[in-house]
Amino acid sequence: MTRHLTMDEADTRRRLDDMVQGTLGTPFDRPDGPLKVTGTAPYAAEWQSADLCHGVLVRAPVTKGRLKAISDEAVKALPGVLAVVSGEKMLRNPAQGMANEAPVQGSEDIVYFGQPVALVVAETFEQARHGAQALKLEIERDEDFAIDPNAVEPEVPEDKQSSTGDLDTAMRDAAHSIDAVYTTPAHSSASMEPHASIAEWDGDSLTLHGSYQMLKFNRNELADSLGIDPKNVRILSPYVGGGFGSKLGIAPEAIAAALAAKELGRPVSVSMTRQQVFETTMRRSETRQRIRLAAGADGKLTGIGHEALVSSLFDEGFTEPVTQATPFLYRGENRVIGNSVARLNRTCAGSVRAPGEAVGVTAFENAMDELAEKVGIDPVELRRINIPDEVPSQNIRFSSHKLAEALDEGAKAFGWDKRNAKPGAVRDGEWQIGMGMSSAFRVNLLIESEARVTLKADGTAEVETDMTDIGTGTYAVLTQIAAEMLGLPPENVTVRLGDTEYPPASGSGGSFGAASSGTSVFLACEEIRERIADAVGCTETDLTLKDGMAIAGNRSTPLTKVLDGQNFEAKGHVKPGEAQKKVRQATYGAYFAEVAVNSVTGETRVRRMTGAFAAGRILNAKTARSQCIGGMVWGIGMALTEDLVHDPRYGQIVNHDLAEYHVAVNADVPQIDVILLDERDDWANPLQAKGLGELGICGAAAAVTNAIYNATGVRVRDYPATLDKVLAGNT
């Protein structure tokens, strides 16, 4: 039996609050944790297969051109080399998230430096890598390329522009206004596990061990790229070593591995080198954001302008949705919101953790800090007085809105009242000390998802779905949901993920994974509860399940007895519906940071950081907290160091390794405190849970740069706030 739900209305039953097992919401340890820390969880490239050979992708060493020929005789003669694969099926770049079809294909047209144009396959990885480096490409260079987003005429898509009221007049009449331009550089996901696939054919059937986030889409993308029936494709991704958006869509290594495996009749493994991960997987677009704020004497906003320029590769549908959250952030009836896109010969731009808000809210929250100073009120208070009653200019209400509470709780825990509002006023020896804050916003989504739950005759349960765990804690939270609903100790629940043979899930992306796939598990469990209730002769709502016992009325019966040798199996299936249109669903939070800026060198060190977040019901206190900490660590990186640099002449990524692309390291990360607010969002889903994976980065960097301003009086509007920029304003 399948229980279906289309989320059209709020679910006010809050059934999980009726459950008594007591595992949901606790800091339950990841069941997959011991495997991962002992190195026994097999990641994509670690699958053992007899006869396995290895392929290494070959990069185009030009910005633009045409691949005329490949002279592969010399390489084919190298020891161990088995094949050189190229041609019209090779992927130019990864598919965008949820594309569900092949991305642009073909190795002939080269449109960015580093584009994979061939694969060299050999008996060993080392032989293949040498072959890839030695392969001679005959390329007709085309010097007519574009690499500077400010030097091309951008596209201005109509559906990405909106305007209400009269912002120009509002700006003119404003008691206080801000009109400033902020820039953020390109970013890389830089996940720990490089992108890797092992492809193996059995007749017409392909099995791919890959490192992917959204298998039901990836299966179709892979099949479409190869021109085969998706039924003949199986993808396995039980463990993924970080994705952050870079593994949403099928990528060049998977297709290359499949093509080579078909040609050779042997399984082929293709792992990207770290440099290839930087060059050929999705980057976050750089942004240029003009932000205008018009406010009355009291600081209440009357107008908002947020216009962004981003870039992407040609023929790509996705563009960084910088202003995605802007329509509902704050009050102010006069608005101009728009996104334009420059088409460039640069590595493809796509989703990187919290596309849109990560950079859009960050710059906006810098502007709010500037406005607070102009108005002369506390930055927290400025946010508070501008919280709208309903979504401005859309006349729909919020499903739940906890920004005020997050601001209050965060400020209290951080000790915001001790901040000296005067910039440059606090010193500790050579260091200038400052505090800054910002709000967090992220849209909330529900995506179609299915799962199967089997309550077995022995009283244990199994959950199966092609959902992925990309380090986020899916194994843990799905275990907890099933255990809670079925009244089982969590050790009696086994969750199986990452296999397209299982019912298709939402996949991991956009922070929707836990709530979407969790709802499908919840629905399947509800169905099983009905069957148990039938068997013990009560209604489902009168049934209590705890520790393997079914309790109804005064009778307590072991589940094994109720099951009587049978398995109870059910599927859950959730689809988004009208609820996403009837109300605005979002998650909220507030960040507070204390920084020390060295008055000699301009180096900034974050001293401590606090984040308060509301994301509906918290499914696991430990993994939720870890997600928030991770997001804030990314925020520190965005604020201070991360900058994917493109060469000004050729557009290639210059700092394509972890030595020179500076993510925050341990020494950059101070004590981070996380407060998770108690919330139930009935409009989100029957779990009342919302997405949390990205909320921690949606404005975090602004808290740091606002703190730099408070410490020094230097307003860095061009991210990252490296020491040279801080010094330039601080002499």
CA dist list (Å): 612 to 363, 411, 419, 672: 20, 9, 18, 11
Shortest spacing between CB 705 and other proteins, in angstroms:
16
CA dist list (Å): 652 to 245, 322, 347: 21, 24, 8
Shortest spacing between CB 116 and other proteins, in angstroms:
14
By CB under 8 A, name the one of 26, 35, 61, 621 that touches other proteins.
Answer: 61
Shortest spacing between CB 128 and other proteins, in angstroms:
10
Tokens of 553: 């009325």
- State whether residue 227 is helix, strand or coil: coil
Tokens of 443: 């849209």
The reply to whether 165 sits near other proteins by the rule CB under 8 A is no
Interacting residues of 167 by C-beta distance below 8 A, sequence separation 6+ = 292, 294, 303, 304, 305, 334, 335, 336
Among 211-219, 332-340, 460-468, 660-668, the segment contacting other proteins (CB under 8 A): 660-668
Phi and psi of 236, rounded to 5°? -120, 120
The reply to whether 601 sits near other proteins by the rule CB under 8 A is yes
- State whether residue 140 is helix, strand or coil: strand
- The single residue of 200, 370, 642, 694 carrying the catalytic annotation is 694
Are residues 237 and 188 in contact, defined by beta-carbon separation less than 8 angstroms? no
Based on C-alpha coordinates, what's the Rg of the chain?
A: 26
Q: What is the DSSP string of 83-136?
A: EEEESTTSBSSPPPTT--S--SB-SSEE-STT-EEEEEEESSHHHHHHHHHH-E
By CB under 8 A, name the one of 104, 540, 645, 713 that touches other proteins.
Answer: 645
Among 124-132, 168-176, 254-262, 700-708, the segment contacting other proteins (CB under 8 A): 124-132
Which amino acid would we find at residue 281?
T
| Angle value at C-alpha 535, between 529 and 537, nearest 5 degrees | 95
Are residues 371 and 304 in contact, defined by beta-carbon separation less than 8 angstroms? no
Shortest spacing between CB 600 and other proteins, in angstroms:
4
The reply to whether 666 sits near other proteins by the rule CB under 8 A is yes
| β partners of residue 294 | 177, 303
By CB under 8 A, name the one of 15, 59, 442, 584 that touches other proteins.
Answer: 59
Catalytic (active site) residue 320: no
Shortest spacing between CB 721 and other proteins, in angstroms:
11
By CB under 8 A, name the one of 603, 621, 622, 629 that touches other proteins.
Answer: 603
Tokens of 498: 């990452």
Sign of the dihedral through C-alpha 544, 484, 487, 572: positive
Q: What's the DSSP call for residue 726?
A: H
Interface positions, 402-441, toward other proteins (CB under 8 A): 430
The reply to whether 655 sits near other proteins by the rule CB under 8 A is yes
Please say which residue, 52 or 669, places its beta carbon nearer to other proteins.
669
By CB under 8 A, name the one of 160, 384, 608, 662 that touches other proteins.
Answer: 662
Shortest spacing between CB 651 and other proteins, in angstroms:
11
The reply to whether 641 sits near other proteins by the rule CB under 8 A is yes
The reply to whether 123 sits near other proteins by the rule CB under 8 A is no
Sign of the dihedral through C-alpha 199, 200, 204, 206: negative
Among 220-228, 241-249, 371-379, 720-728, the segment contacting other proteins (CB under 8 A): 720-728
Which residue, among 508, 496, 506, 505, has the nearest Cα to 453 in the 3D structure? 496
Give the chain's count of helices (H) and strands (E). 18, 32
The reply to whether 647 sits near other proteins by the rule CB under 8 A is yes
Among 217-225, 347-355, 458-466, 602-610, the segment contacting other proteins (CB under 8 A): 602-610
The reply to whether 142 sits near other proteins by the rule CB under 8 A is no
- x/- site string to other proteins, residues 239 to 278, per CB under 8 A? ----------------------------------x-x---
Please say which residue, 1 or 665, places its beta carbon nearer to other proteins.
665
Among 409-417, 538-546, 550-558, 598-606, the segment contacting other proteins (CB under 8 A): 598-606
Among 20-28, 399-407, 521-529, 662-670, the segment contacting other proteins (CB under 8 A): 662-670
Shortest spacing between CB 598 and other proteins, in angstroms:
8
Which amino acid would we find at residue 621?
A
Please say which residue, 136 or 231, places its beta carbon nearer to other proteins.
136
Among 200-208, 483-491, 515-523, 650-658, the segment contacting other proteins (CB under 8 A): 650-658
CA within 13 Å, CB half, 43: 20
Which residue, among 103, 126, 137, has the nearest Cα to 56 in the 3D structure? 126
By CB under 8 A, name the one of 160, 456, 605, 608 that touches other proteins.
Answer: 605
- The three-state DSSP-derived secondary structure of 543-600 is CEEECCEEEECCEEEEHHHHHCCCCEEEEEEEEECCHHHHEECEEEEEEEEEEEEECC
By CB under 8 A, name the one of 6, 12, 133, 150 that touches other proteins.
Answer: 133
The reply to whether 649 sits near other proteins by the rule CB under 8 A is yes
The reply to whether 668 sits near other proteins by the rule CB under 8 A is yes
Phi and psi of 675, rounded to 5°? -115, 125
CA pair distance 423, 241, nearest whole angstrom: 42
Please say which residue, 516 or 641, places its beta carbon nearer to other proteins.
641
CA dist list (Å): 234 to 35, 201, 248, 501: 24, 10, 16, 7
Phi and psi of 338, rounded to 5°? -160, 155
Are residues 355 and 282 in contact, defined by beta-carbon separation less than 8 angstroms? no
Among 100-108, 399-407, 486-494, 596-604, the segment contacting other proteins (CB under 8 A): 596-604
CA pair distance 341, 362, nearest whole angstrom: 19
The reply to whether 15 sits near other proteins by the rule CB under 8 A is no
Phi and psi of 250, rounded to 5°? -60, 140
Please say which residue, 145 or 328, places its beta carbon nearer to other proteins.
145
Among 182-190, 366-374, 648-656, 704-712, the segment contacting other proteins (CB under 8 A): 648-656
Shortest spacing between CB 401 and other proteins, in angstroms:
37
Shortest spacing between CB 666 and other proteins, in angstroms:
7
Shortest spacing between CB 133 and other proteins, in angstroms:
5
By CB under 8 A, name the one of 10, 462, 723, 729 that touches other proteins.
Answer: 723
CA pair distance 643, 656, nearest whole angstrom: 11
By CB under 8 A, name the one of 3, 15, 129, 353 that touches other proteins.
Answer: 129
Shortest spacing between CB 126 and other proteins, in angstroms:
5
Provide the residue count of the chain.
731
Q: Find where tokens 């216009």 sit.
A: 307
By CB under 8 A, name the one of 27, 33, 34, 79 that touches other proteins.
Answer: 79
The reply to whether 140 sits near other proteins by the rule CB under 8 A is no
Which amino acid would we find at residue 248?
L
The reply to whether 671 sits near other proteins by the rule CB under 8 A is no
The reply to whether 724 sits near other proteins by the rule CB under 8 A is yes
Size of the site for other proteins (CB under 8 A): 41
Shortest spacing between CB 619 and other proteins, in angstroms:
33
Shortest spacing between CB 75 and other proteins, in angstroms:
13
CA pair distance 7, 65, nearest whole angstrom: 49
By CB under 8 A, name the one of 511, 652, 688, 712 that touches other proteins.
Answer: 652
Please say which residue, 383 or 646, places its beta carbon nearer to other proteins.
646
User: What amino acid positions are annotated as catalytic residues?
Assistant: 694
Which residues contact other proteins by CB under 8 A? 59, 61, 79, 113, 126, 129-130, 133, 273, 275, 430, 600-603, 605, 640-641, 645, 647-649, 652, 654-657, 659-660, 662, 664-668, 722-724, 727-728, 731
